[in-house]
Chains A and B, each alone.
Chain A
Amino acid sequence: EPEVTQTPSHQVTQMGQEVILRCVPISNHLYFYWYRQILGQKVEFLVSFYNNEISEKSEIFDDQFSVERPDGSNFTLKIRSTKLEDSAMYFCASSREINTDTQYFGPGTRLTVL
Chain B
Amino acid sequence: AQSVTQLDSHVSVSEGTPVLLRCNYSSSYSPSLFWYVQHPNKGLQLLLKYTSAATLVKGINGFEAEFKKSETSFHLTKPSAHMSDAAEYFCVVSDPYNAGNMLTFGGGTRLMVKP
Contacts and interface: CB of A to CB of B under 8 A. Distances in A.
Interface of A: 3-4, 31, 33, 35, 42-45, 47-48, 55-58, 91, 93, 95, 98-108
Contact of B100 (A3, A55, A91, A107): A55
Contacts of A102: 34, 46, 49
Contacts of B99: 55-56, 98
A45 B96 contact: no
Nearest to A107: B43
Nearest to B101: A98
Contacts, number: 65
Contacts of B96: 99-100
Contact of A103 (B98, B101, B106): B101
B60 interface: no
Given A43-B90, A99-B96, A100-B51, A106 B43 contact: yes
Contacts of B97: 99
B44 A105 contact: yes
A100 B45 CA distance: 16
B43 A100 contact: no
Contacts of A105: 36, 43-45
19 contacts: A4-B43, A33-B103, A42-B105, A42-B106, A43-B90, A47-B100, A56-B98, A56-B102, A57-B100, A95-B101, A99-B96, A100-B49, A100-B51, A102-B49, A103-B101, A103-B103, A105-B43, A106-B43, A107-B42
Interface of A is mostly: strand
B107 A42 contact: yes
Nearest to A106: B43
Contacts of A4: 43
A42 B107 CA distance: 5
Nearest to A57: B100
Contacts of A91: 43-44
A45 B42 contact: no
Contacts of B77: none
